[in-house]
Structure 1
Amino acid sequence: MKQRLLILGSLREFVQLIQTARSRGIYTIVCDGYSDSVGKKIADKSYDIDVGDTDRIVSICQLERVDGIITSFSDYLFECMVKIANKAGLKCYFSPEKLDYYRNKDIMKQMFEKLHIPTAKYRRLSSGFSNSDLDDFEFPVVVKPLDKYGSRGVLVLYSVEEIKKHFDFICATSEVKEILVEEYNEGYEFNMMSWVLDGTVHVISIADREKTPVCTNDIPISTRNVYPSRLICNVYEEARDILQRIANFTGQTSGVLSMQFFWSPGETISVCEIAGRFFGYEHELVDYCCGLKVENLLLDYLYDETSLRNTLKHHSPFFDKTSAVLYFHGKNGLMVENQEAALKLSSMKGIMDSWLFYKKGERIIPHGVNPYAIRYYITAKSRAEADWMTNYIFEHMSITSPEGEEVLYQNHMPEYPE
C-alpha cells in the first residue's frame, strides 16, 4: 500500500523534501497557511490551514489515512508537528511535554544551568523591572521575547533606559509579556546540525555563521554560512559532548538536534540556542559538500531505518569540499527597481543556485514571506576559493530603488585567527 505523508510547510525550502518523497513513491499531502506556495503546486494534495490548528490537522490525518508526518526548518513548525503527531498517534522523535526545553528560551537557559553548559548571562524581566536587576550585567545586551522565533523582536541595547523604552516592542507579538536579557557575545558563531540515533548524537555538520552589523539596535544580520567551519577542529569534540548531554537530559533518543553556539580562542563554547529541526536555507550545503540530503534522513526516519543507520554510520562532518550560502538583506520599505547586477552575478561560475526574492515594483518587508532579498549558493574546492568568490560577489552586488538608492545592506567578511 502506498505510504501517505503529511508535510507541514510548503515554501521554497520544502520543495526538495516534497520532490524526494514523491520520487520514492510516497503520496504527499502538504499543509500550511500559504495558499499560493510553490510546494503546493508540486504536492499530490494540499490544504490551506493554519499549522497551529492541531485538531483540524489531526482530522485531516485521519481523513487522508496519513501514516507519517514530518517538517523541519522552522521552530514553530517543529512544535506544531510534535503536538499533531502526539494527538494523531503518529511517529515523532520528540514529545509535547518536553517542548519547553527547545521552545521556551527561559526554560532552555535553566536546562543549560542544570547541565553546567556555558551560556550567556541572562535574566527574565517583566515590565516593572528595577534598574538594579541588571547591575551585574555588561552592556551591550541582546533582548528578546521568550516565545518567538526568526529574530522577531530581538534587539541589541546599550542601557537599562533603552530596554525600558523598547520593552513593549520586544514582546508586542508575544503571548508572554516578559523579555529575556542576555549579555552580547562577540565570539565566532556556529550552526551545528546532528541526528540522534538510539540516544547517541551523530554530527551532521558544523558551519561558520557569519554576520554583518547594520543598525545601532538591530542584531547583526546573517550574511554567510560556510560548510564546513574553518574552526571545526577547535569546537567539534566539545560541541558534540554538549549536544549529547542535552539529548540525555531531554530524553531524545532519535531525530534532529541542532545548536547555535559561540566560541573564542582560549575559551569554552557558549551555547546560544538549541532546536529540534534542521536549519532552513542552508541544509542544502551538506548535500553540496558530501552528497548527504537531510530530506533523506527525515524520510528514512519514518520509512527506512536500515538506510538511516547506514547513512549515519558512514557520514563525517569533516567535508573535503567547501560550500556557502550568501544572504543579502533589504532595507525596510524600499521598492525594488534595478536588479541587473544581481542577475549578472547569478551566472557566475561556482554558483549552484540563486534566488531573487522580490520582483520589480515590490517593497522590502523584513520578517515577511521573503526572509531575504537575495540568496546565492556557492561551491568551491577550498575555503580560500570560496572566500574569493564571496568577496567578489559582496563587492559587485547591488539592487537599487526607482530613486537610485541602494536597497541592500552591504555585507562584510569577518577575520579569522591564523
Structure 2
Amino acid sequence: MLSADDKTFNGKKLLILGGNPETIPLVETANSMGVKTIVASGRHSDPAKKVAWKASDIDGMDVPNLVALARTERIDGVLVGVADILVPAYCRVCEILKLPCYASQQIVDVFSYKDIFKATCEKYGIHGIPTFHLDAELKREELDQIRYPVMIKPVDNGGGVGMTVAYNEKDLLEGVKIALAASNKKRFIVEKYMQCDDMGMYYTFKDGYCSASCIYDRYTSNEQAGVSRVCLGGTYPSKHINTYFEKMHGKALKMFQDIGIRNGVLMLSAFYENDEFYVYDTGFRLQGEAPHLLMKEIHGFDQREMLIRFALTGSEGNVDLAAVDDPYFRGKWAATLWFLLKQGKIAKIVGLDDIDKDKRVIANIQRLHEGDTVLAEWIGTEKQVLTRIYLVCDSKQELANTLKHYMCTVKVFDEFENNLLLYGFNVNKALELA
C-alpha cells in the first residue's frame, strides 16, 4: 500500500480501457496514487470518464486508434477495466506498445471465449455445464437432440449480455439470434439450464504464485423468466469451501500453471450439484462484483493497486500473498447485497442516505439514481443493478441481521409509486440458519 507521502507514481499516465460504473473504483484508486488517468470507451457518457484526468471516445476495442492515442499522450501503461470483451484489445495494445501486460495471447484465447475456456477446463478434469452441439446452421438433427430448458450464450460477452433461457424450440431460435447479435466472433453455446447452488472462486496471481483469495456463494434472481439470472448477492466464505479445496482447487492450479498465468486476477464461476462442480464462466480481470473491496478490508491488500503498479512498472509490488491472503476471511463473515430493478423510471430511492454511517458497510457502489430509467433491454443483465452494498461482520448471525435490515429498509419507486425492486435472496437458507 502507498503511504501518504509516496510520490512514486505522480504524473505517470495510465490508459484504462472501458468506462462502465464498475471501472470507477479502479480509476479513483489510480487517481489517489497520483496517476493521470485516461479512460477510453465508445460511449461519451460512460460514468468512469467523469472521474478520470482525461477521457476519450475511442472504442475500447479499436486497437489502432488506442495505440495512436497512447503515443500522442505518451502514456506509461495500459490497463483493462471491468469488461471481459476488452481483454483481447488490452493485450494487443500492450504488445504493440511494448508495455507490461498481465495477459498473453494464449491466456486471452482461453479466458475470453467461453467455448475455448470450456474445452481447456475439460483437459484438466474440470467439468463444464453439459452442452448441446448447435451452430448457426441450426440443423434439424441437432435441434432434435436438445433437452429443455437450456441457456444460450455468446462466447465472448459477459454480465448477462446476449444470454437467454429457452424452454422450447421457439425460444431457442430467438435466443440464438440474440446471442449472435451480442457476439463479435458470431459464435454461441447452448447449455443445460442449471438450477442449483452457485459459487464464485477469485484468484490472485503474483510472479507465478497463485492464491485463492475468496470462495463464496452467489444467489441469483429467478423472478425474471426467460433471461439470464442476475446476481442478488453473495456470502463469504462459501458453505462448500472445504469441498472445493478437496476436489477442484488442485486441478485449477495445474491449469493456471500450464497456461502460463504469472500475474493478474481471475474469477471462476461454478455450479455445485450432487457433489460435483460445473464451471460456467470466467473473467481474467477485476470483477463487477468487486470481491476485491472485501479482500482489501480483511486481507489488507488492494488488487486494484497491484494491477496499476504492474501496468506502470511490470511489478505488482511487495505484497506477500502467502502471508496475507486467507479465503476463510480470518473468521469474519462478509457479503455483497445487490438491489435489482424492474423496467421503469426511478422517481424515489429510500434507505441509502445514511448508509455511510454504518461501520459494517465498507462500500456502497451505486450505479443508478433518481431520474434514471431502467430500459427493457437491460432486464437480465447487470445494467438493472441499482447498487451493491459490501458488508463485513464479526459473526454469521450479525451478517444475517444486517442483510435483512437493508433488504427491509431500501425501497425504490417509480413516478406512480409502484415498487421497482425485485425480491432479494433467502438469508436464512443462504447462511444455513434456522
Shared fold (TM-score, shorter chain, > 0.5): yes
2:203 to 190, 194, 206: 194
Q: 1:28 corresponds to which residue? A: 37
1:410 to 423, 431, 434: 423
Q: 2:22 corresponds to which residue? A: 13
SS of the residue corresponding to residue 412 of structure 2 reads: coil
Answer with 338-347 or 106-115: which moved more: 338-347
Q: 1:182 corresponds to which residue? A: 191
Structure 1: how far apart are the matches of 2:151 and 2:382?
25
Q: Give yes or no for contact 1:227–1:289 (8 Å, CA) kept in 2.
A: no
Please list every run of 5 or more consecutive structure 2 residues that lacks an aligned counterpart in the other structure.
Answer: 1-7
**Is residue 270 from structure 1 mapped to residue 268 from structure 2 by the alignment?**
no
CA separation of 1:100/1:223 partners in 2, compared to 1, >3 Å: closer, same or farther?
A: same
**Is residue 251 from structure 1 mapped to residue 260 from structure 2 by the alignment?**
yes
Instruction: Give the deviation of 1:312 after TM superposition.
Output: 4.9
Structure 2: how far apart are the matches of 1:236 and 1:256?
18
**Is residue 73 from structure 1 mapped to residue 86 from structure 2 by the alignment?**
no
1:329 to 331, 334, 340: 340
Equivalent residues in 2 for 1:21-100, closer than 5 Å:
21-100=30-109
CA separation of 1:361/1:275 partners in 2, compared to 1, >3 Å: closer, same or farther?
A: closer
2:414 to 401, 412, 415: 401
Instruction: Give the deviation of 1:22 after TM superposition.
Output: 3.7
1:206-264 alpha-carbon deviations (Å, 9 max, x no partner): 22211121122123221012233233222134443232232234232332222111223
- Seq. identity, %: 23
1:251-285 alpha-carbon deviations (Å, 9 max, x no partner): 32332222111223x51221112221121242312
What root-mean-square deviation, in Å, do the aligned CA atoms of Structure 1 and Structure 2 show? Answer: 2.9
SS of the residue corresponding to residue 192 of structure 1 reads: strand
2:301 to 292, 314, 317: 292
Answer with 21-30 or 398-407: which moved more: 21-30
Instruction: Give the deviation of 1:395 after TM superposition.
Output: 3.2
**Is residue 364 from structure 1 mapped to residue 374 from structure 2 by the alignment?**
yes
Q: Give yes or no for contact 1:208–1:226 (8 Å, CA) kept in 2.
A: yes
TM-score (norm 2): 0.85
Q: 1:305 corresponds to which residue? A: 315
Structure 2: how far apart are the matches of 1:349 and 1:315?
23
Partner AA of 1:305 in structure 2: S
CA separation of 1:26/1:373 partners in 2, compared to 1, >3 Å: closer, same or farther?
A: closer
Q: 1:351 corresponds to which residue? A: 361
Answer with 66-75 or 163-172: which moved more: 163-172
Structure 2: how far apart are the matches of 1:408 and 1:10?
26
SS of the residue corresponding to residue 399 of structure 1 reads: strand
Answer with 279-288 or 53-62: which moved more: 279-288
Q: Give yes or no for contact 2:152–2:175 (8 Å, CA) kept in 1.
A: no
Partner AA of 1:55 in structure 2: P
SS of the residue corresponding to residue 307 of structure 1 reads: coil
CA separation of 1:257/1:239 partners in 2, compared to 1, >3 Å: closer, same or farther?
A: farther
Answer with 136-145 or 146-155: which moved more: 136-145
Partner AA of 1:315 in structure 2: D
CA separation of 1:326/1:314 partners in 2, compared to 1, >3 Å: closer, same or farther?
A: closer
SS of the residue corresponding to residue 119 of structure 1 reads: coil
Answer with 167-176 or 88-97: which moved more: 167-176
Structure 2: how far apart are the matches of 1:306 and 1:213?
40
SS of the residue corresponding to residue 62 of structure 1 reads: helix
Structure 2: how far apart are the matches of 1:237 and 1:371?
36
1:370-395 alpha-carbon deviations (Å, 9 max, x no partner): 55123322221122211222123223
**What is the aligned length?**
416
Q: 2:288 corresponds to which residue? A: 280
Structure 2: how far apart are the matches of 1:144 and 1:19?
32
SS of the residue corresponding to residue 264 of structure 2 reads: strand
SS of the residue corresponding to residue 37 of structure 2 reads: strand
Partner AA of 2:342 in structure 1: K
TM-score (norm 1): 0.88
Partner AA of 1:376 in structure 2: I
Structure 1: how far apart are the matches of 2:314 and 2:259?
25
Q: Give yes or no for contact 1:289–1:323 (8 Å, CA) kept in 2.
A: no
CA separation of 1:236/1:297 partners in 2, compared to 1, >3 Å: closer, same or farther?
A: farther
Instruction: Give the deviation of 1:35 after TM superposition.
Output: 3.5
Q: 1:110 corresponds to which residue? A: 119
Partner AA of 2:364 in structure 1: S
Instruction: Give the deviation of 1:298 after TM superposition.
Output: 0.8
CA separation of 1:304/1:319 partners in 2, compared to 1, >3 Å: closer, same or farther?
A: farther
**Is residue 388 from structure 1 mapped to residue 401 from structure 2 by the alignment?**
yes
1:162-211 alpha-carbon deviations (Å, 9 max, x no partner): 31243323323334444311112223211222123344421122222111
Partner AA of 2:126 in structure 1: I
Q: 2:5 corresponds to which residue? A: none
1:264-323 alpha-carbon deviations (Å, 9 max, x no partner): 3x5122111222112124231212333221112213434373734524543222213222
Q: 1:377 corresponds to which residue? A: 390
CA separation of 1:162/1:401 partners in 2, compared to 1, >3 Å: closer, same or farther?
A: same
Q: 1:101 corresponds to which residue? A: 110
Instruction: Give the deviation of 1:70 after TM superposition.
Output: 1.5
Structure 2: how far apart are the matches of 1:392 and 1:104?
40
Q: Give yes or no for contact 1:227–1:285 (8 Å, CA) kept in 2.
A: no
Instruction: Give the deviation of 1:124 after TM superposition.
Output: 4.0
CA separation of 1:11/1:274 partners in 2, compared to 1, >3 Å: closer, same or farther?
A: closer
SS of the residue corresponding to residue 126 of structure 1 reads: coil
Structure 2: how far apart are the matches of 1:316 and 1:409?
33
CA separation of 1:313/1:66 partners in 2, compared to 1, >3 Å: closer, same or farther?
A: farther
Q: Give yes or no for contact 1:346–1:376 (8 Å, CA) kept in 2.
A: no
1:3-27 alpha-carbon deviations (Å, 9 max, x no partner): 3322223444334333333443433
Answer with 84-93 or 335-344: which moved more: 335-344
